Structure 1
């Protein structure tokens, strides 16, 4: 096998679905599905950093369990649309994107069409850009109101629903949320996070996003997680044993190998007038010890 070409972007098929593979100059790779504009894999320093359920359904219709699903234009069930919106269950178009010796980049586009208007009448263009560097992965969403000047404004909520692979979630520690406002979705309790986040059983909380990066400590492995100021929430989720056993597309013990750390904008919906645009991103970077 030849050495990877810096900034290489290739089309391929993964489990029957059209995908794009990015390769960085150091051999890191990322795999992006055109279905849902969803990153399915990120291998950095020889280790898979994202969790893709072995029971995930890849049929070109269903939501894919794992990787980095895109929630748009609705987060969860906070509105009348299907759970987490429709963007993750529709095909996206591959658009030209710039790159460099240091980065491999790809951009996908979804615009309003009969399928989207069956759920949501708004005129929009969404672009998802993925940039792969040596030890880093950035996913950026840009949304534009493409209606006429006299059209009404509309709003949306969104999240980059990142599934991170861990060796054992119960031995994993997430640092950097100390002092952040927290809503516990399981108990409907509000408070302030004290110290690092640890996991024992089902966990589902929405935080005010910190200004500084988060640090995921997974045994000897370390990942830095940063998000743009335009995404004002951080969602942390693990289904625990009970819910994991009830999810058809997740193995009963799947919860042990994953932790969702999501860059989100849900407490305050984004409002766009015709011609206006919003963008937000999340960046993952391998720590000094890998």
Structure 2
């Protein structure tokens, strides 16, 4: 959508078809990598160890995190399409998974119940963005000077650290500029993204640093898809805010003011709320109430395509945390935003 602009420390073993080997890539349309011959930089820097053993019809692929990254509560295996993913879990029966491709959180379960949604048309090919979960929009949200929603969601990130203190498994991923990104957006940057489980909560922190010699500005968002029964969804905390509705026909935003205590979804919704509060509450229509609390994400976006995607629109709602006024960073300056999603009894 767019409007403005299991335990255990050892490696996991998965049996996959031989297609696994050539399909691991940086996500660049211009290049594919056969992993055995030329490992992508993101995998090498992440210290992912990969071993293939030939058999009659399959390759047995063993993947793990070497060295100090191999700690309890954090595993790596081959996910959909053979793409590497990281799994976190704790003793509170919370778990999540993050794909290195796009650094997208594709699953978050609390007490065994899935709360995020991955669209049935999602592609796990290492090239296109994964549609669903919590994708990144960086360095641009929506349409603009570069490609829709930027490039961070369709390139491979690297693992740079893990920890697990007090049953709080945490992984930090990093995206740095390279020839591909500079061909789209000619700046040097470092983006770090941490994901952790704290009790039943899913927590994230995004940090963008300017390591160039010239200033730059960006917009960004977490394009979060939640499982839902769209006819029963309610979002609270937005009453009284200025908002912009995207007209599904003209595609132009129309300024309005939110006068509802509970926002519902009975038609196409693509709406930006400026200067949103730090806490929103989502009732997903499936019996779950989730509190979204943030620091640094100044805006909110609600989206459901309704009949424009009539096959599966009923099953999800997007409640997105965004920064839509450009963040201007001078050399060596950085910007940070945090998000905590919590099951609540409200």
Report if TM-score (shorter chain) is over 0.5: yes
- The match for 1:71 is 137
Larger radius of gyration: 2
Q: Is residue 2:294 matched to residue 1:227?
A: yes
Q: Is residue 2:92 matched to residue 1:26?
A: yes
TM-score (norm 1): 0.90
Count of aligned pairs: 273
Aligned-residue Cα RMSD (Å) equals 1.7
Structure 1 pair 212–231 and aligned structure 2 pair: CA distance change class (3 A): closer
Any unmatched runs of 5+ in structure 1? 246-251
Q: Deviations over 1:213-238 (max 9, x none)?
A: 1111133321111121x221101100
- The match for 1:136 is 201
TM-score (norm 2): 0.76
Partners of 1:20 and 1:169 lie apart in 2 by: 30
Partners of 1:189 and 1:119 lie apart in 2 by: 30
Greater relative contact order structure (CA < 8 Å, 6+ sep): 1
Instruction: Tell me how far 1:132 sits from its aligned partner.
Output: 1.1
Partners of 1:7 and 1:182 lie apart in 2 by: 44
Please list, as runs of the form range in 1=range in 2, the aligned pairs for 1:132-211 lying within 5 A after superposition.
Answer: 132-147=197-212, 151-166=213-228, 168-186=229-247, 188-194=253-259, 195-211=261-277
Give the one of 23, 26, 42 matched to 2:108. 42
Asked if structure 1 preserves the Cα contact closer than 8 Å seen for 2:280 and 2:293, the reply is yes
Asked if structure 1 preserves the Cα contact closer than 8 Å seen for 2:177 and 2:187, the reply is yes
Asked if structure 1 preserves the Cα contact closer than 8 Å seen for 2:226 and 2:284, the reply is no
Partners of 2:121 and 2:258 lie apart in 1 by: 33
Asked if structure 2 preserves the Cα contact closer than 8 Å seen for 1:31 and 1:39, the reply is yes
Any unmatched runs of 5+ in structure 2? 1-5, 10-70
Asked if structure 2 preserves the Cα contact closer than 8 Å seen for 1:4 and 1:27, the reply is no
Instruction: Tell me how far 1:101 sits from its aligned partner.
Output: 2.1
Q: Is residue 2:322 matched to residue 1:264?
A: yes
Q: Report SS of the residue matched to 1:88.
A: helix
